[in-house]
């Protein structure tokens, strides 16, 4: 080969090139981003629209349906989801493959803006985002124990010393404080005094806004200097607010109380049963998880050095980067162990130290070069890319082994000089190793062109490192290996090993038995194929199995509306049950967040936990208290895609109809049925429960008599119940405290008090609310979910020792017997369809890869028969895979299919290496090609027999009669005697007349032996068994490898 010949002649250049690759690769490895899964552009876009405190039904009717209608006209949408809650709607769209997410997001927002005239007037903002707000988990959560801080100082100190510091870390999107209650200024108006002075809440709000301002009044020129003018009217303390005159002789202090109070938070956080004070850090979507987490921990360490936090201790509750680093470390450790074991195996077979070390050095060299290529290609170190690198570890030595053994054969058996042996050794096997490398690479070519659901990104992150490293190993094997071996002193002869000889002899006997008993061999092959198919039918096919996580998320909903104190009591009972079994189940920290009707309990498992996650889940669910209208379930994470999305049904059943209330009722009946199935667990629904809401209906006739409008009525009720947040706060020397204007004792207002709420009329005076409106309670939905403009509810579940495809069939059989009301229907969740689509895509990829391998091998070897035989053997490699997976009770996953696609065809390289070792004229003779180049061409005529090159020759073992005639012919020529002779032929098969098995001997002994006994056998490669079992004899007259005939 030209490349290897140049490398042999210029060793310094080769050394400098590889030293440069090592430097670049090491630099790239130190600077590459580390993450759990590769960042990929989300195929979701979302539109969020806030809408005051309007009820869920009103939001759906006035906002959700018009927005869904206009967005449905946009092309490129696969599915559309919407979630409607009180005062807010979020519409998410899953785009089709290949769509530009940014362009579609802009188009969606423009479409919604175009129908503003159809939306309520008080809608101000239309937000553009991703899947859904609030779905992302924090990358880091800290709990802070600070006994020296009180509630009044804790929030302000943490906000200034922690939150602001962490938000300046690159990649951090937001930082949330929990547990510390923010202090604000409350102006509590006395409704009796307001009525006595004839004032409205809006009058007080207007007066406060007029006195508390900060604006720019332009600029003036003073002594040729431009000076900005900023009128200031800021409140500097509570006394400024109390003394503010509302009208002559009347100040704010006369009609209200002004004080600092802690803000009431419905979202409560606890750690191990105690109230928690801590910080949650969220990252930007494009930021690197591990890098951001590392920088945040460094910032927290610096914040802890603050003198005001000297007595505070920080405890990390959750760290998403830790399991990522742990997974990567495990993969790297396994790769190192695998590389070391492969070196030991090489040494056991090669039995020479220097060649073994040289071949083993191929692995780190190729991996380091691959790191450089990955860095410049924009890839990251993640679980998938490391899987590709670890797969390559077992393949990288192949090329180096073939090349080194070929060179050693030339030096040892042919007596060539080191430089000539290196050149000819690489040239002989160059085509074979190139074919093996290219057939590995083309396996992944379909992933670069086929857009497959959820598969393309994963396959590319495995394919690029794997293919790059194998290509690097080919370059090393054809340049560095011959360059070094050409300058290595010749070692001792190959040591004999009886075990390997016996194995070789046993293998030869098996091959010869197969050749002699063709029909029996075909029967055995058919039985093996049947066993492989049986093993496949016994396997569980799960393309994205649920991930093993150290954190379990227990969630429970409360049907209806309860007080926060009652919810806290339920949480206490749940935490007590879990904490009571903490040591038994191997549970670490338990953190809880809850509000009025929902709670999430995060259970962190210890590394030495005695039970697996499914067992712990079942044990915890069994110990949960029996509380009416409360449903406990665990949220699941499948295939690295995070917590299953409730919008698409996940692994479950979707119920579709018109009424959410009816769907919730149907969902409860479906849950009762599915809970009886032994192969399902954690059956639950995330449909939000009904709540009680207070409605106020204006009576037009009575309201018209007093001049009360709906807008005035809504404003008065809003101020009475929720208060008013002032635009400007209280200035505290660079710090601004919020000011909130509200009615006194609004937290304890009763229905009777609300009915008597004074409503100010335009002409002066007030009128009671019940005089112009009806006030009553009614049940209201907590949320409405829709998919593709249809209302839907979901019943989700986990699978227990059953494959998704089989579970789908069984659940469908059960649901067919479930009677749905008219106008309602059910369908299986999207995860089932996703599973089938991924399996289909993998089959398409494997089929396309096999076709490409066949085409490549046919083009390289100018043969259609040889690729067919090799691909037939590849199919049988799947038999071992299926039986091994069945024996180890391992499901057939996406990564298992990738591993099989990579390793299944690697035997073709080793199978093909034997052919180039034949002499050039021998290759041409038995392949029907030219005897000079081994390429296609007419076969030369033989002077002894015109039929000499025809393929209808006698094969050893095909017939017993032919074997006997062959033996008699050898004895008659005196070519062999019956004593065993050690014939060395570099791996080719020599046939002994007595045992018809391989004989190996040094070149000198064999040449003397043949010259002495048979002058007509001039070439020491006198007899060999080719790939299809034909025997060849080198003829003295024509110099060709002639097929022995009867």
- CATH classification number, 184-215+231-262+692-745+758-781, choose in 3.40.50.360, 3.30.2090.10, 1.10.8.60, 3.40.309.10: 3.30.2090.10
327: part of which helix (H) or strand (E)?
helix 321-350
Residue 554 · residue 682 · CB < 8 Å: no
Give ranges for CATH 3.30.70.1320 in the chain: 140-182+264-319
SS3 content of the chain, % helix, strand, coil (to 5): 50, 20, 30
Give ranges for CATH 3.30.2090.10 in the chain: 184-215+231-262+692-745+758-781
Burial code (b: 16+ CB inside 10 Å, e: under 16) for 171-193 equals: bbeebebbbbbebbbbbbbbbee
Angstrom distance (rounded) from CA 540 to CA 908? 30
Write down the pLDDT at residue 841.
Answer: 75
Write down the pLDDT at residue 842.
Answer: 76
> What is the CATH architecture assignment of 547-635?
2-Layer Sandwich (3.30)
Q: By three-state DSSP, how is residue 557 classified?
A: strand
Beta carbons within 10 angstroms of residue 135's beta carbon:
13
Total residues belonging to the chain: 1046
By C-alpha distance, which of 156, 74, 58, 155 is closest to 112?
A: 74
Residue 159 · residue 736 · CB < 8 Å: no
Write down the pLDDT at residue 151.
Answer: 61
Angstrom distance (rounded) from CA 600 to CA 771? 44
For the chain, list residues with pLDDT below 50: 132-135, 215, 217, 453, 639-649, 907-967, 969-970, 973-1046
Q: By three-state DSSP, how is residue 1003 classified?
A: helix
| Token pair belonging to 524 | 């055995």
Angstrom distance (rounded) from CA 653 to CA 811? 9
Beta-strand relationship, 739-743 and 183-189: parallel
Q: What are phi and psi of 642, to 5 degrees?
A: 80, -175
Write down the pLDDT at residue 584.
Answer: 85
pLDDT in tens, 917-932: 443 333 333 333 333 3
Write down the pLDDT at residue 982.
Answer: 37
Render 835-858 in DSSP notation, one character per residue: HHHHHHHHHHHHHHHHHHHHHHHH
Residue written as token pair 């180039």? 916
2-36+325-491+517-541+838-913 domain in CATH 1.20.1640.10? yes
pLDDT in tens, 260-302: 777 766 567 777 777 777 788 888 766 778 888 888 988 888 8
- CATH classification number, 140-182+264-319, choose in 3.30.70.1320, 3.60.70.12, 3.40.190.80, 3.40.50.720: 3.30.70.1320
Give ranges for CATH 3.30.70.1430 in the chain: 44-129, 547-635
- The CATH class of 44-129 is alpha beta
Write down the pLDDT at residue 561.
Answer: 65
Angstrom distance (rounded) from CA 434 to CA 912? 11
Give ranges for CATH 1.20.1640.10 in the chain: 2-36+325-491+517-541+838-913
């Amino acid at each position: 080969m030209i490349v290897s010949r140049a490398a042999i002649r210029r060793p310094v250049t080769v050394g400098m090139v590889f030293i440069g690759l090592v430097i670049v690769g090491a630099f790239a490895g130190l600077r590459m981003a580390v993450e759990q899964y590769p960042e990929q552009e989300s195929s979701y876009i979302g539109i969020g629209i806030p809408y005051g405190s309007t009820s869920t039904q009103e939001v759906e009717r006035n906002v959700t349906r018009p927005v869904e209608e206009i967005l449905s006209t946009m092309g490129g949408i696969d599915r559309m989801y919407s979630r409607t809650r009180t005062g807010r709607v979020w519409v998410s769209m899953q785009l089709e493959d290949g769509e530009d997410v940014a362009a579609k997001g802009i188009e969606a927002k423009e479409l919604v803006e175009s129908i503003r005239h159809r939306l309520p007037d008080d809608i101000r903002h239309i937000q553009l985002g991703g899947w859904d707000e609030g779905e992302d988990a924090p990358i880091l959560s800290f709990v802070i124990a600070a006994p020296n801080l009180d509630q009044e100082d804790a929030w302000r100190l943490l906000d200034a010393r922690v939150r602001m510091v962490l938000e300046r870390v690159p990649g951090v999107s937001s930082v949330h404080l929990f547990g510390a209650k923010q202090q604000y200024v409350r102006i509590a108006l006395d409704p009796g005094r307001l009525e006595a002075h004839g004032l409205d809440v809006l009058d007080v709000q207007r007066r406060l806004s007029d006195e508390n301002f900060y604006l720019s009044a332009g600029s003036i020129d003073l002594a040729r200097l431009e000076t900005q003018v900023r009128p200031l009217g800021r409140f500097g303390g509570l006394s400024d607010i109390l003394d503010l005159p509302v009208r002559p002789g009347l100040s704010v202090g006369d009609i209200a109380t002004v004080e600092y109070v802690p803000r009431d938070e419905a979202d409560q956080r606890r750690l191990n049963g105690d109230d928690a004070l801590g910080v949650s850090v969220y990252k930007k979507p494009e930021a690197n998880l591990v890098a951001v987490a590392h920088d945040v921990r460094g910032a927290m360490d610096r914040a802890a050095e603050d003198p005001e936090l000297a007595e505070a201790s920080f405890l990390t509750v959750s760290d998403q980067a830790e399991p990522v680093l742990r997974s990567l470390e495990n993969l790297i450790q396994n790769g190192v162990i695998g590389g070391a074991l492969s070196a030991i195996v090489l040494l056991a077979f090669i039995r020479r130290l220097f060649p073994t070390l040289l071949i083993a050095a191929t692995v780190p060299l190729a991996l380091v070069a691959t790191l450089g290529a990955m860095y410049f290609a924009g890839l990251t170190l993640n679980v998938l890319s490391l899987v590709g690198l670890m797969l390559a570890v077992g393949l990288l030595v192949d090329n180096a082994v073939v090349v080194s053994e070929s060179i050693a054969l030339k030096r040892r058996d042919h007596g060539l000089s080191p430089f000539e042996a290196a050149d000819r050794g690489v040239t002989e096997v160059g085509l074979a190793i190139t074919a093996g490398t290219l057939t590995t690479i083309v396996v992944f070519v379909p992933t670069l062109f086929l857009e497959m659901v959820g598969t393309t990104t994963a396959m590319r992150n495995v394919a690029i490192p794997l293919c790059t490293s194998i290509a690097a190993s080919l370059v090393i094997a054809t340049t560095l290996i011959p360059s070094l071996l050409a300058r290595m002193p010749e070692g001792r002869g190959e040591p004999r090993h009886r075990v390997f000889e016996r194995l070789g002899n046993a293998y030869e006997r098996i091959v010869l038995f197969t050749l002699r008993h063709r029909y029996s061999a075909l029967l055995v092959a058919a039985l093996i194929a049947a066993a492989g198919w049986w093993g496949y039918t016994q396997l569980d096919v799960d393309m994205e199995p649920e991930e093993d996580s150290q954190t379990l998320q227990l969630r429970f909903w409360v049907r209806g509306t309860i007080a926060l104190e009652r919810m806290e009591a339920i949480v206490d009972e749940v935490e007590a049950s879990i904490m009571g079994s903490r040591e038994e189940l191997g549970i670490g920290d338990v953190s809880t967040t809850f509000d009025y009707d929902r709670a999430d309990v995060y259970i962190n498992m210890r590394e030495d936990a005695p039970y697996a996650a499914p067992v712990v889940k079942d044990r915890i669910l069994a110990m949960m208290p029996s509380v009416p209208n409360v449903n406990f379930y665990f949220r699941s994470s499948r295939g690295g895609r995070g917590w299953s999305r409730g919008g698409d049904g996940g692994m479950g059943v979707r119920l579709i109809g018109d009424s959410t209330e009816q769907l919730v009722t149907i969902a409860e009946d479906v849950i009762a049925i599915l809970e009886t199935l032994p192969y399902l667990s954690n059956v639950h629904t995330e449909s939000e429960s009904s709540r009680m809401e207070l409605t106020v209906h204006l009576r037009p006739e009575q309201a018209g008599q007093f001049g009360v409008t709906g807008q005035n009525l809504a404003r008065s009720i809003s101020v009475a119940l929720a208060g008013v947040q002032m635009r400007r706060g209280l200035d505290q020397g660079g710090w601004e405290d919020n000011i909130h204007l509200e009615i006194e004792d609004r937290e304890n207002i009763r229905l009777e008090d609300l009915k008597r709420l004074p409503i100010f009329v335009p002409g002066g005076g007030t009128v009671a609310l019940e005089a112009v409106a009806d006030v009553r309670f009614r049940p209201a939905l907590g949320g409405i979910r829709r998919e593709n403009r249809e209302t839907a509810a979901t019943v989700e579940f986990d699978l227990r020792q059953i494959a998704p495809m089989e579970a789908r069939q069984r659940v469908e059989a059960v649901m067919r017997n479930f009677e749905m009301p008219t106008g309602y229907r059910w369908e299986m969740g999207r995860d089932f369809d996703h599973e089938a689509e991924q399996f289909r895509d993998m089959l398409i990829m494997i089929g396309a890869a096999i076709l490409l391998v066949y085409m490549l091998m046919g083009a390289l070897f100018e043969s259609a028969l040889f690729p067919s035989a090799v691909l037939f053997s590849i199919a049988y490699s799947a038999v071992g895979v299926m039986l091994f997976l069945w024996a180890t009770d391992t499901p057939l996953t996406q990564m298992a299919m990738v591993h099989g696609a990579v390793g299944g065809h690697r035997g073709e390289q080793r199978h093909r290496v034997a052919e180039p070792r034949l002499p050039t004229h021998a290759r041409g003779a038995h392949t029907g090609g030219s005897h000079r180049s081994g390429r296609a061409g007419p076969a030369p005529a033989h002077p002894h027999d015109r039929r000499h090159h025809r393929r209808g020759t006698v094969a050893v073992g095909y017939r017993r009669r032919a074997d006997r005639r062959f033996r008699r012919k050898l004895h008659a020529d005196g070519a062999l005697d019956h004593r065993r002779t050690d014939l060395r032929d570099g791996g080719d098969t020599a046939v002994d007349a007595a045992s018809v098995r391989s004989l190996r001997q040094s070149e000198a002994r064999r040449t003397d032996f043949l010259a002495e006994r048979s002058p007509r056998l001039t070439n020491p490669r006198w007899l060999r068994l080719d790939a299809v079992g034909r025997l060849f004899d080198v003829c003295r007259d024509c110099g060709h490898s002639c097929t022995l005939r009867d």
